[in-house]
Chain A
Amino acid sequence: MLTEHSRIDHALARIDARVKILSALVILAMILSYRGFAFPGLVTLICLILTFGMGVRLRVLLLRYSEPLFIAAVIIAVKLLFAGKDPMFSAQFMGIAINGYRDGFLEGLQIANRIVSAVSLIALLGFSTPFAEFIAGLSWFRVPKGFVEILMFAYRYIFVLFDDAQVIYQAQKNRLGYSTLRRGLSSFGTLAGSLTIKAFDHSQSTTVAMMQRGYDGTMPMLKHKPFRLHEVAMTMVLLICLGVLWKI
């Protein structure tokens, strides 16, 4: 739920989710197919400006970037040390020769640049698109309706069931339910069974609660509205501009 950290009244948040998803996919393809640093770097810069413009705090952003940045760093290190032919440096560490390669390093940087750029783009999409609108957008892209509805419920109930699982696990642990491997397996089986029953109970109650509020089998938030012409036109202009930059 990235929208929790951003301003929901921002202009970007009001744009149709389908337009944003489609644009993100096109730009993602451009990033991945570009050979060089400039285009992904530019996309990263624009995304960061827009993300901060939406009121996202640096700490939140760094938290989101921590994993991809770590992966990018590992890729750079691996490429530097194990790929390439043009020597950049040579060193001895505990009697082991360590060689770094310039072309490997550049290749690693290029991949890392793409990773950061793609993550920035997807983060911007996340910060500017409420979850319900995002999955409604997915349904327009012909993602099966059943899958989209499950995705919506899963997001909410994964936390509820996780809490339930924790309570059951603690209750079992307090009574030595995991003292031996055999007991642990048996307890885990009981936990899984209890969770299944709880999930079923939850589903029944939730259905009743939803029916009380007019649910008739179709989720109102998944109904699609017509596209707004000015949004589509502006997006097309943006994509064309980016396409020209990508070509250069």
Chain B
Amino acid sequence: MEDLARLAVNIDVFSYADGTQALGNIALDVRKGEFLGILGSNGSGKTTLLKVMDGLIKDYKGSVLLDGSDVRKLSPKQIYAKVGLVFQNPDEQLFAPTVLEDVSFGPQNMGFSDSEVRQRALSALQQVDMEGLAKKSIHHLSFGQRKRVCIAGLLAMGHEILLLDEPTAGLDPMGEYRMMNLLMKLNRERGVTVVMATHSVDLVPLFLSRLFILSKGKIARSGTPEEVFTAPETMQNVKLRLPQMAELIYRLKHEDGVGFERVPLTIGEARREILRTLEERHA
């Protein structure tokens, strides 16, 4: 069951109205309960790919299957009962005057009773640690809080797959960390399948189980963070870089001849690797 593909994307080609090719030869699958990343520089096609996966773009050559059904043949209600896209800019998503009213919008449209709507909205706000701000005006919230309300709006509907466009963009380092922890909690504790587009390479190895590197609308590389970040040349070719810790160890290994066995991706891994190397030298 864990390996069942919830979303299977096979795009031969998708071009914008002006003829610019945005996506080509894309083949990726999203499995149940995964925390998957789409990594790419600006203009690489990440947002377009998310819109394709969400059924917002349909005039492509190829197919996108949601639980085995072609999204082009599904009604918006059928798609949006399972998949929800969180935009990069929360102001494009939040429209109601207060937090509670905005989060309640989805459940209200689903036809739940008032008490059920309220219970769902408050539960969703609790999941994103925003329950204390339910009656606050949206415009009084910080950018990070608004992003959390966007996520709560989809969680209140019981979405099983969350697509997030640059969820950490515009957040301070602590905000980035909190957002990623929230997504990880939703993924691990609530079983929500998470697909996020990002260019924050330092966050990826800490949280994501699998990632796809997108460049000029094509998948340049895919695999686990360990698999993807072993080739710095590929990262440079797609206008990205290694995580800072990996970059440091990689340079120490190749330019200064320090005998590291592997290139770590996180501070914890790097610490262990450095201590091991030092112990070997002392011995």
Contacts and interface: CB of A to CB of B under 8 A. Distances in A.
Interface of A: 1, 3-4, 8, 130-132, 152-153, 155-157, 159-160, 201-202, 205-206, 208-216, 220-221, 225
A212 B101 contact: no
Residue among A132, A156, A206 facing the most chain B CB atoms (10 A cut-off) = A156
B154 A213 contact: yes
Contact of B77 (A8, A155, A214, A221): A214
A211 B80 contact: yes
Given A131-B98, A155-B97, A160 B91 contact: yes
**Residue in B80, B96, B97 with the greatest tally of chain A CB atoms within 10 Å:** B97
B101 A209 contact: no
Chain A at the B interface: mostly helix, strand, loop or mixed? Answer: helix
A206 B56 CA distance: 13
16 contacts: A130-B135, A131-B98, A132-B96, A156-B94, A156-B95, A156-B139, A205-B89, A206-B93, A206-B95, A210-B95, A213-B105, A213-B154, A214-B77, A216-B109, A220-B105, A221-B104
A221 B98 contact: no
Contacts of A153: 95
A221 B101 CA distance: 9
Nearest to A216: B109
Contact of A211 (B76, B89, B92, B96): B76
A8 B121 CA distance: 15
Nearest to B79: A212
B154 A160 contact: no
Given A160-B91, A212-B154, A213-B153, A132 B80 contact: no
Contacts of A210: 95, 105
Given A212-B84, A221-B101, A206 B92 contact: yes
A1 B98 contact: yes
B135 to A, nearest CB: 5
Q: Max chain B CB contacts within 10 Å: which of A1, A130, A202? A: A1
B101 A214 contact: no
Which 4 A-B pairs have CB atoms at the shortest separation, nearest pair first? A214-B109, A220-B108, A205-B92, A213-B106
A4 B105 contact: no
B96 A209 contact: no
Given A1-B98, A216-B109, 8 more contacts: A4-B135, A132-B98, A160-B139, A205-B87, A206-B92, A213-B109, A214-B106, A221-B104
Nearest to A201: B92
B97 A209 contact: no
